[in-house]
A and B are shown apart, each in its own frame.
Chain A
Amino acid sequence: MTPAEKSPPLDFDTFLSGVWRENPVLVMLLGMCPTLAVTNSAINAFAMGAATTFVLVGSGALVSLLRRLVPGTVRIATYIVIIASFVTVVDYLIQAVSLALYAALGAFIQLIVVNCIILGRAEAYASKRPLGHAIVNAAGVGTGFTLGLLLLGSVREILGAGTLFGLPLFGEQFQPWVVMLLPPGGFFVLGMWLLVFSWLRERRGRPHAEARHIHGH
């Protein structure tokens, strides 16, 4: 149960893996509930991403600090208490920043508690790595999550409201594509982005595969 403390050196890849190779939205398909629910505008997507990043980094740091102290039998209870505390903190902070934003995000702020990205990071990474690694990796995953949400939020806002971050992009004659702001729009845009990213990954992987193929001969 006690994991080996040997971990790869802290480098840029610790951060970048969460952004690209293990992107929670586009690769791991985790945290789909906020991903589909609050990405009806870019600003909501950004705020949700920032709030989740805060909770990820905070809980990751605390879980990493307490990793030698917490017995395996009560680890899940401990992680949930830690995560719930940071969610409560971010809940107050968002109310202090903007009540309109708080109203727009609604119950999804409190629901960060049950976001599997955060418990997943605590269990699979932060509880086995030193503080620096845990913070950098959590920041990377948070950035990846925020970018994923922003990709969805921007497209949905542009098509569904004709604006980006509230700024009008088209003229008065623009007819908003309202379905993009509704739940089906979330699925459409997510599907489209997943298609784009798998195509990109496949294209990046192809030269290697072809090279291996040639070597094989």
Chain B
Amino acid sequence: MSAILPGAAPPVSARRMIAVLGIVAFVAGVLVVTAYEFSLPQIEANRRIALTQAVNAIYPTARTRRTYVLAAEGLAASSETLPAGQVAYAVFDENSNFLGIAAEAAARGYQDIIRVLYAYSPGCQCITALHVLRNNDTPGIGNKISKDREFRENFRALDVRLTPDGSALAHPIVTVKHGTKTEAWQIDAISGATITSKAVGRALNESAQTLVPRVTADLKRVSQAGVAP
């Protein structure tokens, strides 16, 4: 090296370089693992709090909830707060009365994945509330889905009735151009934020197509399990 580059550093033995890199990697490993172990309980607590706040945003009287994972054979109860897979929460008020289901839905928006939590009420077979969990779309345009009053009206009673055999939604949820909503299963898009509005429609449709049939099939069990973890 020094022969090629005059004035370069004197040659260093390979053993020394490996030893130094090994020491540095070891120190780095200890540092990262310590930080991970130290912060994990707090991160999990933050996630639980965020979930509780989101559930309370769509069910203001919610007190307890029970977590289910949508498995191939139906709904499986889970003791974890945030298990992997598609999750549904059965929500109960302080008298352990069943309020409905809260479930997450996601789809690609204009800039990034949009994640929402929605309330499904088996009583009316409709979606009764929507809370935006994550949305990085354009400020002032795409982020209107969280606050636009007209848009939020869509989710007062969005029809998600099932077909007679109970295997899928009778009418898929679709987002229509602003001002052209005629049916209860349509979402009236925000003018100027069509891509974001459509993403919400796609997310809800995809999630409800699998969630609603399974919840309906298991409704008795889910709505009676009033003891939450």
Binding site for B on A (CB under 8 A): 1-2, 40, 62, 66, 69-74, 77-78, 81-82, 84-86, 88-89, 92-93, 95-96, 98-100, 103, 106, 160-161, 176, 178, 181-182
B138 at the interface (CB under 8 A from A): yes
* CB proximity of B24 to chain A, nearest CB, Å: 5
At the interface with chain A, which of B29-37, B120-128, B172-180?
A: B29-37
With contacts A1-B9, A71-B20, A77-B21 taken as known, whether A99 is within 8 angstroms of B32 at the C-beta atoms is no
Say whether chain B's binding surface is mostly helix, strand, loop, or mixed: helix
Alpha-carbon gap, A175 to B67, bound state (A): 43
> Which bracket fits the contact residues of B?
20 to 34
Decide if A82 touches B17 in the complex (CB within 8 Å): no
Please, which residues of chain A bring their CB within 8 A of the CB of B36?
92
A73/B1 in contact, CB under 8 A: yes
Q: A88-B35, A176-B140 are in contact. Are A78 and B24 (CB under 8 A)?
A: yes
Give the Cβ gap from B221 to chain A, nearest Cβ, in Å.
Answer: 32
Bound CA span A71–B20, Å: 8
Q: Which chain A positions have C-beta within 8 A of B71?
A: none
Neighbouring B residues of A92 by C-beta, 8 Å: 35-36, 38-40, 43
Known: A88-B32, A89-B31, A99-B50. A181 touches B139 (CB 8 A): yes
Smallest CB–CB gap between B33 and chain A, Å? 10
Contacts of B43 in A (CB 8 A): 92, 95-96, 99
Closest chain-A Cβ to B56's Cβ sits at a distance in Å of: 16
Q: Is A93 in contact with B21, judged by CB distance below 8 angstroms?
A: no
